[in-house]
């Protein structure tokens, strides 16, 4: 049996979704969780789900499901974006899920679709699927705040009345198609990546407090400069991590708030994000120990106080072997010899869904290997190839 998927309808829906929060040059989007653009896109998606003959359902987090009658595969991802994102990160997996669920409905078969909320972590780490997968309670999620201090609870209040949690028992497994967001497939010319496992992630916010002072009259030796403390932390951390990490390990200080952020003032306070990722649970723990040790050293050397937040995290997750096999067989059928098995350095909702369902993922190439930027893009022919592989795999699971 092959499902009557319509690639042109799929591409048209992708371009329609791109209009919500369209920004920058090319196909960039700004669709932060619970932003106006995000809420408008969720209303649009609920309409598409209804028009497809599926039952639209939004839960308390703002996760949106298109529910089929009967137990079958769940296919999806997320539609929220980074502050500057691309048109495909997450959106590809949701619209591919919509197209396959719609075609399955036309063929009288049960496939459901989902768009998880706040995968891009405005409030934390993959918030919507963390709650749905049980890694976090709704109350814990509600207490999370974004970089400006707004809480998840306050943000989701705009949703008004929402539905109950959807029972994972409605689904036989979860498939997520995603852009690779890295260079491997683009460089090799292969068309599909069948994901073997997803790395783990740790996130914390750290505040260092020294003494705000006059930039002209405060001698260097007497300063308690928060920026110098962060700068010293970064240099010492890079040095100390060398004995712990591998070439695949990554760590990032991506968000920095300097106070009062004025050119004639010695900064008295800095708050920054500290994120690290690796496929090995033990190495993630050893990296945390190094981070805490370097913080203690810097506090003494720079005479600042340091306040690390609680650590948010998602552990490394292997993909389900049977679902991986279905994707690999579908890839070999559609693009023989032009696919590979590979790990994911990016986090995905599949990491959380794996706590309640068997999951697997497939990648399509990212042009130039870039993502989390307006410039993110993939050739439309490659998007359609991914859809065809995903549909073939989903059909084999029906
Ligand atoms: O950061 C990530 O890996 C995901 O794109 N949120
Ligand atoms: Mn994503
Ligand atoms: Mn992303």
Is omega for the bond preceding 107 within 30 degrees of 0, making it cis?
Answer: no
Q: Span 113-134, mean pLDDT? A: 96
Question: What phi and psi, each to the nearest 5 degrees, are found at residue 104?
Answer: -65, -40
Q: In this structure, which residue's CA is closest to atom 6 in ligand 1?
A: 120
How far, CA to CA in Å, does 256 sit from each of 16, 305, 316? Answer: 34, 17, 27
Query: How confident is the model at residue 377, as a pLDDT?
Result: 97
Q: What DSSP element (H or E) covers 157? A: none
SS3 18: helix
**pLDDT tens figures, 329-369:** 999 999 999 999 999 999 999 999 999 999 999 999 999 99
Helix axes 7-18, 91-106, angle to 10 degrees: 140
Q: For residues 308-333, give the mean pLDDT.
A: 97
Above pLDDT 90, what percent of the chain? 98
User: Does the pLDDT at position 124 exceed 90?
Assistant: no
Per-residue pLDDT tens over the stretch 284-311: 999 999 999 999 999 999 999 999 999 9
120 lines ligand 1 (CB under 6 A): yes
Say whether pLDDT at 2 is over 90: no
The contacts found for 259-263 with CB under 8 angstroms, 24 or more apart, are: 259/212, 259/226, 260/212, 263/215
Q: Cβ(17) to ligand 1 under 6 A?
A: no
Work out the mean pLDDT of the chain and round it to a whole number. Answer: 97
Beta carbons within 10 angstroms of residue 86's beta carbon: 28
| Token representation of residue 9 | 């309808």
Residue 130 — pLDDT band, cuts 50, 70, 90?
very high
- Nearest to 166, CA basis, from 58, 51, 53: 58
- Give first-to-last CA distance, the chain, whole Å: 10
CB 78 within 8 A of CB 23: no
> Which of 6-15, 117-126, 280-289 bottoms out in mean pLDDT, i.e. has the lowest?
117-126
209: CA distance to ligand 3 center in Å? 31
In short, whether 52's Cβ falls inside 6 Å of ligand 1 is: no
- Ligand 1 probe mutation, 33, 82, 86, most atoms within 8 A of CB: 82
- For strand 213-214 and strand 256-259, is the pairing parallel, antiparallel, or unpaired? unpaired
Confidence of residue 25 (pLDDT cuts 50, 70, 90): confident
Q: What are the two backbone dihedrals, phi and then psi, of residue 102, each rounded to the nearest 5 degrees?
A: -65, -45
Q: Say if residues 74 and 114 touch (Cβ distance below 8 Å).
A: yes
Question: What pLDDT is stored for residue 193 in this prediction?
Answer: 98
Residue 125 confidence class, pLDDT cut points 50, 70, 90: confident
> Closest Cα partner for 224 from 265, 264, 273, 262?
265
What does the pLDDT average to over 306-334?
A: 97
Residue 345 CA: nearest ligand 1 atom is: 3
Beta-strand relationship, 112-116 and 72-78 = parallel
pLDDT band at 175 (very low <50, low <70, confident <90, very high): very high
> Please, which pLDDT band fits residue 1 given cuts at 50, 70 and 90?
confident
Over residues 62-89, the mean pLDDT reads 97
Do 350 and 198 form a contact (C-beta atoms < 8 A)? yes
Per-residue tokens: 364:
């399509």
Give the contacts of 255 (CB within 8 A, at least 6 positions apart).
Answer: 147, 272, 273
277 CA closest ligand 1 atom index? 3
pLDDT of 216 above 90: yes
| Closest ligand 1 atom number to CA of residue 372 | 5
Instruction: Give me ligand 3 centre to Cα 301, in Å.
Output: 37
3-state secondary structure 247-267: CCCEEECCCEEEECCCCCEEC
Ligand 1 pocket: which of 84, 121, 351, 376 to mutate (most atoms <8 Å of CB)? 121
CA-nearest of 73, 72, 105 to 3 is 105
Q: Does 350 contact ligand 1 (Cβ within 6 A)?
A: no
Nearest to 390 by CA among 14, 65, 111, 67: 111
In angstroms, what is the span from residue 120 Cα to ligand 1's centroid?
6
Q: What number of helices (H) and strands (E) belong to the chain?
A: 12, 17
pLDDT given at position 126: 95
Backbone angles phi, psi at 237, to 5 degrees: -65, -50
pLDDT 10s digits, 244-274: 999 999 999 999 999 999 999 999 999 999 9
Q: Is the pLDDT of residue 43 over 90?
A: yes
pLDDT value for 349:
98
Read off the pTM. Answer: 0.94
Tokens of 133: 């997968």
Give yes or no for residue 119 CB within 6 A of ligand 1. yes
Going through the chain in order, the beta strands assigned E by DSSP cover: 55-58, 64-67, 72-78, 112-116, 171-179, 192-198, 200-209, 213-214, 250-252, 256-259, 265-266, 269-278, 305-308, 312-314, 317-318, 339-344, 359-364
Average pLDDT estimate for 374-398: 97
Burial class (CB in 10 A: 0-12, 13-18, 19+), 214: exposed
Residue of 200, 191, 227 lying closest to 212 (CA atoms): 227
- What is the token pair recorded at 147? 């970089």
Q: Which ligand is nearest to the CA of 93?
A: 2
pLDDT at 392: 97
């Amino acid at each position: 049996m092959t499902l009557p998927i319509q690639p042109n309808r799929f591409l048209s829906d992708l371009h329609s979704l791109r209009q919500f929060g369209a920004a920058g040059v090319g196909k960039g989007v700004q669709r932060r969780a619970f932003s106006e653009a995000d809420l408008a896109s969720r209303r649009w998606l609920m309409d598409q789900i209804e028009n497809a003959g599926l039952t639209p359902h939004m839960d308390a987090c703002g996760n949106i499901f298109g529910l089929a009658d009967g137990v079958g595969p769940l296919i999806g991802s997320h539609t929220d974006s980074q502050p500057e994102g691309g048109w495909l990160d997450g959106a590809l997996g949701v619209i591919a899920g919509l197209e396959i669920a719609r075609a399955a409905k036309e063929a009288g078969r049960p496939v459901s679709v989902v768009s998880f909320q706040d995968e891009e972590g405005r409030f934390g780490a993959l918030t919507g699927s963390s709650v749905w997968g049980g890694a976090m309670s709704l109350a814990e999620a509600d207490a999370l705040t974004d970089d400006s201090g707004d809480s998840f609870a306050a943000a989701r209040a705009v949703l008004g009345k929402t539905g109950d949690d959807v029972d994972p028992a409605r689904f036989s497994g979860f498939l997520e198609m995603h852009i690779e967001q890295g260079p491997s497939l683009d460089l090799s010319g292969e068309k599909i990546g069948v994901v073997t496992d997803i790395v783990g992630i740790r996130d914390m916010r750290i505040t260092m407090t020294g003494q705000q002072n006059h930039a002209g009259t405060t001698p260097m030796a007497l300063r308690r400069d928060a920026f110098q403390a962060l700068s010293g932390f970064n240099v010492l951390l890079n040095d100390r991590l060398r004995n712990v990490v591998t070439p695949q390990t990554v760590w990032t200080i991506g968000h920095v708030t300097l106070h009062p952020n004025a050119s004639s003032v010695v900064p008295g306070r800095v708050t920054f994000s500290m994120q690290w990722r690796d496929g090995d649970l033990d190495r993630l723990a050893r990296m945390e120990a190094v981070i805490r040790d370097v913080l203690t050293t810097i506090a003494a050397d720079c005479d600042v106080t340091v306040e690390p937040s609680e650590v948010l995290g998602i552990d490394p997750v292997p993909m389900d072997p049977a679902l991986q096999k279905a994707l690999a067989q579908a890839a070999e059928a559609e693009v023989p010899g032009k696919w590979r098995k590979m790990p994911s350095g990016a986090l995905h909702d599949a990491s959380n869904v794996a706590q309640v369902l068997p999951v697997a993922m497939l990648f399509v190439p990212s042009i130039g290997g870039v993502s989390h930027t307006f410039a993110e893009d993939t050739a439309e022919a490659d998007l359609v190839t991914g859809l065809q592989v995903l549909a073939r795999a989903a059909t084999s699971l029906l």
